[in-house]
Chain A
Amino acid sequence: MTNTLRRYLRPQQIRELSLLLLIIVVLIFFSTQIENYLSPRFFNRIASDVAIIAVVAVGETLVVLTRNVDLSVGSIVGVTAYFMGTYLGNNKDLNPALAVGMAIGLGAALGVINGALVAYGRVPAIITTLGTLAIYRAALVELSGAKTVVIDAMPKWVQDLPSQTFVSFGGLDVRPLMLTALIVVVLFQLVLSFTQFGRRLYAIGSNPEGARFAGLPTERVVFAAFVLCGALSGLGGFMFLARFGNITVVAAQGMELQVIAAVVVGGVNIFGGTGTMFGALLGAILINILQQSLIRMPQISQFWINALLGVLILAAVATDALILSRLRQLWARTSVQMTEGQAKRIASGK
């Protein structure tokens, strides 16, 4: 019985299942603490927030899988949100598809800089993106003249986007942002599981030297991961604009912390090589629920909410180091026993 269980459940999936369980436990806990907690309105709000983080976290996962990190995602979101806001304010009849495409393109362009420096310039990712985090933000402050984008200047379709509802299940609305996030997560999970690019990401992350020996174009793959991360941050920037409307130069500042927290809590190994998009999504959901719920508890200060985020990251990494590695060992041992058992059976001619 345990053997069948072990065969069908990999450590990664256990991790994701326990995350799902944790989300449910957290929801039950807060529903006993906060009055009128489990309301559709609350869930709609979380869904909109999670949507943005999740899209950016998908991009970040691509990068983290290759044993790199992108700290500049918050700045890319801010830059695209601001510039698309300004541009749409001046060109109200711009085709919506074109607008989204522009946001993605702008993000991708910023990702190209990161990717080129890391993959071809061989500057460590943490240094490169720490630099571009500051540079992109500074460029935004400089070029914008510190003006603010206001929601009223937006074309009507942008203003309506976040609250548009396709279907509604008893107050739980399916809205464009949420749907976008779901599509992105599913699409990129498929890319990870079923394409050459996905396979290469995992290979490079878990054994960079080996990947080079296997003749993989490691530079190109890492570069592509950063460009895609930039592009998805650009998409996230557009969603940010649609959701909040009023964009200042500090928009999405510090978002990288939430995004990396979501990725790590979601079980993506910070040393590359393991993790899934679903995990990252679950990580984003858990973090958001905690944040939104704690805000509603007046006895807890805003500062502690940030600290909690930090604790969560550390806890996630610690479980990875302690529990998961033990689980993996346990798995390894049982399957070797299986191998030996089978070998004996083969040897004895059965």
Chain B
Amino acid sequence: MTDPILEMRNISKRFDTTQALDDVSLALYPGEIHALLGENGAGKSTLIKIMTGVHPPDRGEMLLDGKPLTLNSPVEAQAYGIAAIYQEPMVFPDLNVAENIFITHRTRSPFVNWGKMYRDAEEILSQLDVKLDVHESARGLTLAAQQTVEIAKAISLKVRVLIMDEPTASLSAHEVRQLFKLANTLKQQGVAILFISHRMEEVFEIADRVTVFRDGKRISSKPRAEVTPEGAIRDMVGRQIDELYGEHATHARSDVLMSVRGLGKQNTFDNITFDVHRGEVLGFAGLVGSRRTDVGLALFGVEPADVGEITFEGKPVQITSPQQALQTGIAYVSEDRRALGLVMPMSITANISLPMLREYLSALGIINFAAETRTAQQFRERLAIRTPTVQVPVAKLSGGNQQKVMLSKWLNARPQLLILDEPTRGIDVGAKAEVHHMIRDLAAQGLGIILISSEMPEVLGMSDRVLVMREGRQMGIFNRAEATQEKVLAAAMGQGYSE
């Protein structure tokens, strides 16, 4: 067997409280396509960032051609021939193809040798066996063509290790074929390719070796012939949930709160159909790019759907703006506290009352500060928001407390249906437990809850039923009893699962 080009040995990396990578080893051989599988948060992205010099590892070493390698920046990684392409190509739309290919090249001359640049670009593209006009500006190119440009860019840098991070997620079937052809061409030229995808069938089609990560650890690494889809999925999940979430008592009532039929939005999601009962927690599971958040945004009227029917409390409704959603009784707690949720310089009080300010106006439209403060105090006690006073700007609170302010704000709107989008992302374990407790309380009070979460244990542990999405399509709804990690993940990856 030949020697590996790039070897990662016993790499560990920690971010604050999360151990993103724990003693992980991986070897990339020339002329081999190595697939990396793992759930959201398994550590794939962190590994890529270490390989491309974005982050240094805490422990462990990298070897290039058997010699120790230290990377301080992505530019250095490129100089060693390590390059990455991503789902969204990073091209400059107003530059032409040749300029994009050579954007990172530096020459000693201050002048551009246009003739040479075009000739070299054409040579690289012919080497890849693709036809692309090097004079065309990148703006007009399809996503697939833009990715080709990215690959050409990598080749111009004499790439030896090419990392492809979900390159197929936005491509059509035909474009995927073209990309695979390119990958195989590179493979024959002796490039080592690390291929990351959530599409199981693609992995099994193209990969020579399959490695599975889970919770920052390497679980398995085998030649493709020795791996089955079922086995890979088992490796990806394989953990106990019940101990964390305890006994699940359902609060779901028999009456339907909202029913959604055939909801769709062009190029985003299609034919989403489900019911939410009062007191029910309906989980939305799926991998990155499954478009769960887009469904949430459509239900809240931020990016309204194009087609489909929504019935709320038995009445058909059209939701075209957040104002309307609020009036209907739907609230949405967004994942992005900073940009979408809270007005950071404003006080806790002002943030909580913001959507419902109308209710705090006395005669002449003057804000009734006493009433406003009273509300804030109530929520401070109810949700245990830790702060000296409710007049403190929310920017000064910790993530968990900000999350509580955000929940207060929407609970104050007295919604019937609460959409929670990644409610525990980026908050510590204690605060997380509190949020989970709160979700149960709210369900017990009869609220319908849609819980969008990328954490499989959370979505399975909290939900009465789980709706699984994959690339904008609804793959199925599972009852609590049938929703095992294996089944949900198999559906999320578009893979039938048999026991």
Contact = CB atoms under 8 A, between A and B. Distances in A.
Interface of A: 194-197, 199-200, 202-203, 206-207, 209-217, 273-274, 332, 335-336, 338-339, 342-343
Interface in B317-354: 321-323, 325-326, 332, 334, 339-346, 350, 354
A261 to B, nearest CB: 24
Nearest to B369: A194
| Chain B: number of interface residues, binned into ranges | 35 or more
B409 A214 contact: yes
B386 A214 contact: no
Contact of B332 (A210, A213, A216, A339): A213
Nearest to A204: B343
Contact of B343 (A206, A335, A336, A343): A206
Nearest 8 Cβ contacts at the A-B interface? A215-B322, A215-B323, A214-B355, A215-B326, A207-B343, A196-B357, A194-B366, A332-B396
B365 interface: yes
A76 B394 CA distance: 39
B343 A209 contact: no
B302 A212 contact: yes
B85 interface: no
29 contacts: A195-B365, A195-B366, A196-B365, A199-B350, A203-B354, A206-B346, A207-B344, A209-B339, A209-B340, A210-B340, A210-B343, A211-B354, A212-B302, A213-B302, A213-B322, A213-B340, A214-B322, A214-B354, A215-B355, A216-B355, A273-B343, A335-B388, A335-B392, A335-B396, A338-B388, A339-B388, A339-B392, A339-B396, A343-B386
Contact of B345 (A196, A206, A211): A206
Interface residues of chain A: helix, strand, loop or mixed (majority)? helix
B323 A217 contact: yes
B431 interface: no
A55 B323 CA distance: 34
Given A194-B366, A206-B343, A207-B342, A213 B334 contact: yes
A213 B421 CA distance: 13
Nearest to B334: A213
B387 A339 contact: yes
B367 interface: yes
A194 B367 contact: yes
B241 interface: no
Contacts of A215: 321-323, 325-326, 355
Contacts of A338: 388
Contacts of B302: 212-213
B271 to A, nearest CB: 26
A288 B113 CA distance: 56
Contact of A332 (B354, B386, B395): B395
A216 B344 contact: no
B361 interface: yes
Contacts of B344: 206-207
Interface string B49-92: 00000000000000000000000000000000000000000000
Nearest to A341: B388
A214 B340 CA distance: 8
B323 A339 contact: no
Contact of A274 (B345, B357, B358): B345
A211 B357 contact: no
A196 B368 CA distance: 10
A207 B339 contact: yes
Most chain B Cβ neighbours within 10 Å, of A203, A215, A274, A336: A215
Interface string B243-256: 00000000000000
Contacts of B366: 194-195
B323 A210 contact: no
Nearest to B333: A213
B198 to A, nearest CB: 28
Contacts of A335: 388, 392, 396
Contacts of B334: 213
Given A215-B325, A274-B345, A332-B396, A196 B367 contact: yes
Nearest to A331: B396
A119 to B, nearest CB: 15
A63 B345 CA distance: 18
Contacts of A207: 339, 342-344
Nearest to A193: B367
B187 to A, nearest CB: 43
A33 B176 CA distance: 79
Contact of A216 (B345, B354, B397, B409): B354
A202 B323 CA distance: 19
Given A199-B354, A336-B396, A212 B346 contact: no
A203 B396 contact: no
A216 B340 CA distance: 12
Nearest to B368: A194
Given A210-B343, A214-B409, A342-B386, 19 more contacts: A194-B366, A196-B357, A199-B357, A202-B343, A202-B345, A206-B344, A206-B345, A207-B343, A207-B344, A212-B302, A213-B322, A213-B340, A215-B323, A215-B326, A216-B323, A273-B343, A332-B393, A335-B388, A339-B386
A333 to B, nearest CB: 9
A38 B190 CA distance: 86
A54 to B, nearest CB: 24
B341 A213 contact: yes
A17 B235 CA distance: 64
Nearest to B365: A195
